[in-house]
Structure 1
Amino acid sequence: MAAKTGGAVQVHKNDTVKRTAMARNGSGREGKPIRLLSNHFAVKLSGIDAVFYQYSVSIKSDDDQVVEGKGIGRKVIDKMLQTYSSELAGKDFAYDGEKCLFTVGPLPQNNFEFTVIMEETSARAVGGSPGHESPGPGDKKRVKRSHLPKQFIVGISYAARIPLRSVALALQGSDSDHAQDALRVLDIVLRQQQAKRGCLLVRQSFFSDDSRNVVDLTGGVSGCRGLHSSFRTTMNGLSLNMDVSTTMIVTPGPVVNFLLTNQNVRDIRDIDWPKAKRMLKNLRVKATHNNMEFKIIGLSDQPCSRQTFPMKVRSGSSEGQTVDITVEEYFKSKQVFLEKPYLPCLDVGKPKRPNYLPIELANMISLQRYTKALSSQQRTTLVEKSRQKPQDRMRVVTDAVKSNRYDDDPIFSSCGIKIDSQLTRVEGRVLSAPMLVVGNSQDCVPFKGRWNYNNKKLFEPVRIERWAIVNFSARCDMSRISRELINCGRTKGIIIEGPYSLVDEDNQARRCAPIVRVERMFEKVKANLPGPPEFLLCVLPERKNCDIYGPWKKKNLHEMGIVTQCIVPTAKMNDQYFTNVLLKINAKLGGMNSKLALEHSRKIPVINKIPTIILGMDVSHGSPGRSDIPSIAAVVGSRCWPLISRYRASVRTQSPKVEMIDSLFKPLDNGKDDGIIRELLLDFYTTSQQRKPEQIIIFRDGVSESQFSQVLNLEVDQIIKAYQNMGQGPPPKITVIIAQKNHHTKLFQADAPDNVPAGTVVDSGIVHPKQYDFYMCAHAGPIGTSRPTHYHVLLDQIGFTADELQSLVLSLSYVYQRSTTAISVVAPICYAHLAAAQMSQFIKFEEFADTSSGSGVPSSSTAATVPELPRLHADVCSSMFFC
């Protein structure tokens, strides 16, 4: 039996419910029309009768070992095509570099096995460098064998048939099983073109080593600008989405220079070699003495002058004997004289067969991805150097489409694919900014997505009586900070009494561990205050990644139940600075800085009449390469209905790198629920005149299109179970909206060089041909090129019109209490992200601090069970502590 609710089909079978994403139910009409361009290029598809045939590929070496490397796989397949073209009927291939290749039309038979002979393709067995893996002097048998051609066995077997017509059906709005497969083949053709040009491929982006596209970020890391390209089905038809993309690469050059800059030391003697070993592992280098490429697996235990390896030495006609020789002596015998024999060697062999290469003879090869987390300074530099004005970005992508000559590809030609070289024209609308209300019920009209509190007071200012300033920074005038904060607060309506105490950290405490420093500071606070303060202002010594921040927040929010605001002294501590600090303090202490005029007059459509809770959901993961750090799931829920400006957060840990939230409903053995949703529903009930929400609006961040089904069927089910677990009553009506920032569609004004205006929305042309989605730029982009948020409506049982929903999304971009600008994505999602980030600090410096080995591998105890996150103290759990 099939029922239809809010556009999403529910199939009932054996009491299970399978929800699918709803279809579009119309477009919005409100707003001022605007002519736009988008970085989509129209694709004409004349050969829709073409059929792709997919074949599975296996590549084995002559010793029956499976070949895994992407680079060698492409070389082997290219050689196979040259050698056996007639057996393969002269077909052109699209090869993904791994285990799949595609042809237009079938090959002469379903299964092939070819022997492919390559010239030497691996540097690992080539001479010129000492060790078990390469020949020494007199080892002629070994030398001869190392230069023999390499033989591979390539197996090809038929796997599937993918009709290109499926794309045409998808464009018409039909459900087509093969449409995504066919688009994947087209994307693989694009990737193959770039691989042949020597580009670094990262998913659907490609990067060349053109120095004009590389920016030094210091620390041996560079930002590399490239291009993203992917085919998309849109309301206008098939399009090629081209965008500028950036990845991080290791700065090429001498390995010694890399280590000096990576560790920020001037002298080679100051290099931390255990740290260098971790950093260098798996990177590739080119030897300067023989031009061979190698992969680093480690470092030698001894410097070149003392590191030995066994080498056969032949004397006369006898077989000779094996002697131990140092790396330095070996290279001297080859007329290569080392200037720094006191340095260790790179091990470029295999785990049980080392092969030593002196560091001074090795250069980092170009276009190697750097996947570790960037420092705050590197991130700042990357953002500043990656910015492009809209006109520059338009020019880059248009030039790329023209210069790459995609139409010339034989596979595209045989499919009748032609790609337009002009940006797609799109009709958009600019929605009016919502009116805000500030202190004394004064109207505040945002202009270009911005407003300010000049000569205005906060809507609902708090009064601060018991508070203190604690100072972890040696360079801080606490008296001035106190005076200016009080004066600024007075002009904004916040009455701040003089602080009870200004508590300086003892000099000797600064040398202690962060947790000890925090404990000692609290002892001084207790000694200086007559009772627990309602608020503490904390002055930190550094802005980003301060190691005191996590322990300080945990002590206050988990143990003491005290609201705290951290600041860092800067040269620009002016009125604007203190106003921004006060916005956060006021929101954390329960005040409200501004609210929507519609909220104030209780006239928000749909929400005002029926109790409605708005949820913002996000999952924060550990930094790249840290698989031992649990992920943090955070959900914020609105409170004090019919307000949509106040929120409470609930946060839990879950398995590392898992995106779906598994603790929304968490039944215990006693039948009770300890999940996130119960906590938020109870809070809503107690703050909303004892009313249960009859409508739930869910904004979900951070999921890809392939995960939409899981959100609809796993997370929504948990929310319904949590609701039902709290008592009888009809189930709530649910609306689910995904917000995506990590996409590559950009919008440009057709008639102006500036970014699109705040409030720009597009729900036609470049949107999905069937599903309900739209793009919105709620914010004004003063620098760079604005990125719209892509909203997908997966379920709408509440029954919003397109205009009502877009108006709500825009309004929720104006209720972010920390700022005086419209933000790019709805506030509930930003709050969830902030809550997850702040709570993750609780564990960052304790259970999961970097070990001395720095392996990043979880211990068996860590991997088996995810540690519980410390819960918030009862005095702060309902506050907007994350603001």
Structure 2
Amino acid sequence: MEKAEEVDLPPPPPIPPNVKPESMKPPKYSIVSRPGVGRSGRQIKLVANHFKVAVNATDAVFYQYTVKITSEDDRAIESKGIGRKIVDKLYNTYSSELAGKRFAYDGEKSLYTVGPLPQKKFEFMIVLEESFAKRESGSPDSGGIGKRAKRSFRSKTYKVELSYSAKIPLKSISLALKGAESDNTTQDALRVLDIILRQQAANRGCLLVRQSFFHDDSQSYVDVGGGVSGLRGFHSSFRPSQGGLSLNMDVSTTMILTPGPVIEFLKANQNARDPQAINWQKAKRMLKNMRIKTRHNNMEFKITGLSEKNCHELYFPMKVRDGSNSGEEQTVEISVYDYFTKNCQIELVYSAYMPCIDVGKPKRPNYLPLELCSLVSLQRYTKALSVSQRSSLVEKSRQKPQDRIRTLTNAVRSNQYDEDPLLSECGISIGKQLTEVDGRVLETPKLKVGERDTCFPNKGRWNFNNKKFLDPKAIERWIVVNFSARCDISRISRDLINCARNKGINMQRPHTLIEEDRNAAFGSPVARVEEMFESIKKKVPGPPDFILCVLPVRKNSDIYGPWKKKCLSDMGIVTQCISPGKINDQYLTNLLLKINSKLGGINSLLEIEHPSNLPLIKDTPTLILGMDVSHGSPGQSDIPSIAAVVGSCYWPLISRYRASVRTQSPKVEMIDALYKPLENGNDDGIIRELLLEFFNTSKGRKPKQIIVFRDGVSESQFNQVLNIELEQIVKAYQHMGEEDVPKFTVIIAQKNHHTKLFQANGPENVPPGTVVDSKIVHPRNYDFYMCAHAGMIGTSRPAHYHVLVDEIGFSPDQLQNLIHSLSYVYQRSTTAISIVAPICYAHLAASQMGQFMKFEESSETASARVTSAGGIQVPELPRLNKKVAGSMFFC
């Protein structure tokens, strides 16, 4: 299944706090250049969503100026919205003093021009007029509403200082395109071009999210429930490639609050049938800082809170004339409800018994009835999506390949980039057609399954119909437990046994079936798990080899984390959780693929793996590592990040893996526990664990070659991978008494990028095994795109592989075929996957062990704490029980 368009990722997270500054020097391992291109596979004509950019004025130079904006009281202005208004006014007011130069402004502290301004320093005073509601003595602090309130204007004066900062020649891009090593100047020049596009989008009123822009177009909304919508927009960025400079344009999606009446948002957000069912404490937390517009006077405010009392109970003092000829004023107490209905003649249908929205300051509240307020459009929603919201987003935002091509070409034409004065001044023009590229479709690897059968995958898929697993593990002493799910567990176990025997697994009848006690179902998740294990101890003489656990909720069950922790960490028992809906042979087969892998069996192997015929691997002990770091959801700044590394075992196999997982500081991407020396001289790091497993399962051999697949890092972090992570792997290897350092091949795998491939002569997705290593790739560095999987719906997203180091010396064909093959060894599935299996396994291991702490999120044990010394104390994950530590528990 294709994923929905990813929301643009945040800027790269910081490096680990224990990394010394000297480790940021140029790496010992330098990033390798492209050795050539692959030749294997059949040729295929493709197009990519890169639009050719012609640069005619290569002698143009960008001048960068630092922008400092302060208010009348010398307070720095940080708001991007205000900053853009002020700089626009600056250009319109002082154009002649600035030699008529056009600006490219990033909305913050940098401004760029083509050629220099007349001076290196400027100081300007800018006056902005803002509308506001004028309050007179008789009106309440209730939004300045009513007959007495008038729309007025006030002026604010700002000081703008411009000071020269740097020169950025456009020719640095031309040099990079010719194969020169990219430097900061090249990246700076590309960034200026991106800023020009962002500024153009900002001028059209778009919401900007890093390198994507979103227009307020109702046809681009995708309702995902809960008062949240996906908004479809476009990502755009300039990229140097072998074919020259190109504009990478792609469809992008960001999450926003669904605009409209606040009360409708709250009902949708809380799944409430009517306003009376709304939880107002929850609503208060949710609404804080949202922007609203009032329907009676069309003014905009930011929500600061909700009133404690309902609208008809909320009184304030108001001055009124006594009606006599003297016209004297007297103060009366009036409710907010009466003020709006009687004084302002505004009909309020349901506000009387609801809180009011507060848009004032802490000591001067400013109340508005709920039904007069609507959420304004283009407000980002940054919280994590629920499972149902995410699946709805995936389903509703898919686009077929031809639809996406049409959307992108229309967007490039409608944005009229050629009319942008700054791009014209640089001599830049952007083509209107997608780039044609030559691709190759690699040969599909054959698989070995049970009874010496050869399996021939077709279009990236295969099955076990009338076939047995290659190495099925007998399941003798096992039990089934049911956490109050409504299902027939006797039938489930019977059907599972029959399916298992068809796949070659000798599966006995379960020792016992245990239903959760009805009273226990009302306890906390941890208490329910403990209660279940008490029942197991009473009914089973000794720990079972395997437990099938039936959960009542299909996704995100709160029992899952405590159950996995109890089984894997405390007891050392292999377990498989299910929440069955429709049970058929395919469902049971998929279940057995996981169970057999967890118990140490092998479902299938590559034909070239059994016996081994893998180039450069079959004769030299080779360890394959998959590395990934998973972070807390957006807004969870104190949830520790989880680093997971899987390592291959049983060399020369490349299908069997063991995982090692650790916590680390929140939002830190670089793994800091690969090598972890202790005071007693031992190493408690991840790599030692995996090296020992390799040694113990590979006939006492030590790896002489290590292939590292690293997921989730941006191009700006490549040197950190070599400096920080690769250095730790080397130290861990040397700590085990080895003087000779193994040869390394280090490959970064990226899925979060915006390059898409399309067949030039067909409506379908590109076939599985499609690889592109020319024209749209980096002009110097060693990278390529591969779409190993079959995209059945939506538009396929190829994986983007960057080879940083290759001491092993693979030819392009050897490396691409190895990576393609590693998409067919994923034991959980009978389909080729979109990225190499070691990375998928690392992601699964991090995710599953992260569940160990999830049920404790409200307690201190699950959150990182700041110590008295100012450092961050991160809670450690419970270690796996030694009985299951070497298993593929993550399958």
TM-score for both structures, normalised by structure 1: 0.94
Alignment of 1:567 with 2:574, yes or no, is: no
Are positions 1:505 and 2:509 aligned together? Answer: no
- Counterpart of 1:541 in structure 2 is 552
Which of the numbers 174, 179, 198 marks the counterpart of 2:186? 179
Match of 1:590 among 592, 600, 606: 600
User: Root-mean-square deviation (CA), in Å?
Assistant: 2.5
1:736 aligned counterpart, secondary structure: strand
1:149 is displaced (CA, Å) by: 2.1
Partner in structure 2 of residue 833 of structure 1: 843
Mapped contact 1:130–1:355 kept (Cα < 8 A): no
What secondary structure, in the 3-state scheme, does the structure 2 residue paired with 1:836 have?
helix
In structure 1, the partner of 2:164 is 158
- 1:307: how far off? 2.9
- Describe the shift of the 1:333–1:827 C-alpha distance in structure 2 as closer, same or farther (beyond 3 A): same
Q: Which residue is 2:631 aligned to?
A: 621
**Matching of residues 101-180 of structure 1 within 5 Å:** 101-120=111-130, 147-175=153-181, 176-180=183-187
Partner of 2:282: 275
Match status 1:802 vs 2:812:
yes
| 1:206 to 2:216 alignment | no
1:216 aligns with: 223
Amino acid at match of 1:377: S
Secondary structure of the residue that 1:112 maps to in structure 2?
Answer: strand
Number of residue pairs the alignment of both structures matches: 864
Q: Aligned partner of 2:356: which letter? A: C
Unaligned runs of 5+ in 2: 1-21
Distance, in Å, in 1 between the alignment partners of 2:487 and 2:567 is: 22
Residues 639 and 864, structure 2, Cα contact 8 Å, conserved in 1: no
Q: How many Å apart are 1:322 and its aligned residue?
A: 7.6
What whole-Å deviation, never above 9, does each CA across 1:671-730 have from its counterpart, x for those lacking one? 111110111011111111111111111000000111111101000011111111111330
Confirm or deny that 1:528 pairs with 2:539. Answer: yes
Report the equivalent of 2:337.
328
Per the TM alignment, residue 308 of structure 1 is displaced from its structure 2 partner at its CA by 4.1
Tell whether the 8 Å contact from 2:315 to 2:334 is kept in structure 1 after alignment.
yes
Instruction: State how far apart, in whole Å, the 1-side matches of 2:561 and 2:315 are.
Output: 47
Residue matched to 1:97 = 107
The aligned runs of 1:255-404 (5 Å cut-off) are 255-309=262-316, 325-331=334-340, 332-339=342-349, 340-404=351-415
The correspondence for 1:870, drawn from 878, 882, 885, is 878
Tell me the distance in 1 between the aligned counterparts of 2:871 and 2:515. Answer: 41
Task: Give SS of 2:307's match.
Answer: strand
- Decide which of 591, 597, 604 is 2:614's aligned counterpart: 604
Return the letter of the residue paired with 1:875: K
- 1:248-259 equivalences under 5 Å are 248-259=255-266
Provide structure 1 residue ranges, at least 5 long, that are not aligned to the other structure. 1-11
Question: Aligned AA for 2:576?
Answer: Q
Quote how far apart the aligned CAs of 1:428 are.
Answer: 0.8
- Could you give the per-residue CA deviations for residues 31-84 of structure 1, whole angstroms, max 9, x where no partner exists? 111111000000000011111111111222223222222122111211121111
Q: 2:143, 2:367 within 8 Å by CA — same for their partners in 1?
A: no
Is the 2:359–2:366 Cα contact (8 Å) retained in structure 1? yes
Give how far 1:174 is off: 1.1
Are the equivalent residues in 2 in contact too, given 1:138–1:313 (CA < 8 A)? no
Q: Secondary structure at the match of 2:433?
A: coil
Q: Which amino acid aligns with 2:265?
A: F
Identify the range of structure 1 (636-645 vs 150-159) with the bigger mean alpha-carbon deviation.
150-159
SS at match of 2:497: helix
Q: 1:335 to 1:593 in 2, by over 3 A?
A: same
| Structure 1 segment 751-830 matched on structure 2, within 5 A | 751-830=761-840
Whether the 8 Å CA contact 1:124–1:349 is kept in 2: the answer is no
CA distance in 2, matches of 1:68, 1:445: 60
1:639 matches 2:649: yes
Deviation string 1:163-192 (CA, Å, 9 cap, x unpaired) is 101110111111343111111111111111
**CA shift for structure 1 position 223:** 1.1
**Secondary structure of the structure 1 residue equivalent to 2:222:** strand
Residues 138 and 366 (structure 1), Cα distance of their counterparts in 2 relative to 1, 3 Å cut: closer
Q: Is the 8 A contact 1:125 1:134 kept in 2?
A: no
**In percent, how many aligned pairs have the same letter?**
65
SS at match of 1:189: helix
The structure-2 alpha-carbon separation of the partners of 1:14 and 1:127, relative to structure 1 and needing over 3 Å to count, comes to: closer
> What secondary structure, in the 3-state scheme, does the structure 2 residue paired with 1:619 have?
strand
Letter in 2 for 1:297: T
Listed as ranges, the matches of 1:50-69 within 5 Å are 50-69=60-79
SS at match of 1:398: helix
CA positional deviation for 1:296: 1.3
Q: CA deviation at 1:848?
A: 4.1
- 2:146–2:344 CA contact under 8 A, matched in 1: no
CA deviation vs aligned residue, 1:814-853 (integer Å, no higher than 9, x gap): 00000001000000000000000000000001144699xx
- State the Cα deviation string for residues 502-530 of structure 1 (Å, max 9, x = none): 10011111111111111111111121112
**Corresponding residue number in structure 1 for 2:10:** none
Structure 2: distance between partners of 1:644 and 1:224: 42
Instruction: Decide whether aligned partners of structure 1 residues 281 and 124 sit closer, same or farther in structure 2, where only a CA change above 3 A counts.
Output: farther
8 A Cα contact 2:138 2:318, kept in partner: no
Change (3 A) 1:859 1:545: farther
Contact 2:142 2:368 in 1 (8 A): no
Are 1:454 and 2:465 an aligned pair?
yes
TM superposition shift of 1:99? 1.4
Q: Secondary structure at the match of 2:587?
A: helix
Which residue of structure 2 lines up, in the alignment, with residue 35 of structure 1? 45
Distance (Å, rounded) in 2 between the aligned partners of 1:304 and 1:438: 71
Once the two structures are TM-superposed, the CA of residue 14 in structure 1 deviates from its matched residue by 13
1:321 CA displacement: 8.2
Task: Give me the whole-angstrom Cα distance separating, in 1, the residues matched to 2:179 and 2:230.
Answer: 40
Aligned to 2:490: 479
What is the distance in 2 between the residues matched to 1:254 and 1:566?
42
Contact 1:130 1:309 in 2 (8 A): no
The whole-number CA distance in structure 2 between the counterparts of 1:13 and 1:653 is 22
Q: Which amino acid aligns with 2:91?
A: L
- Residue 276 to residue 580, structure 1, CA distance change in 2 (3 Å): same
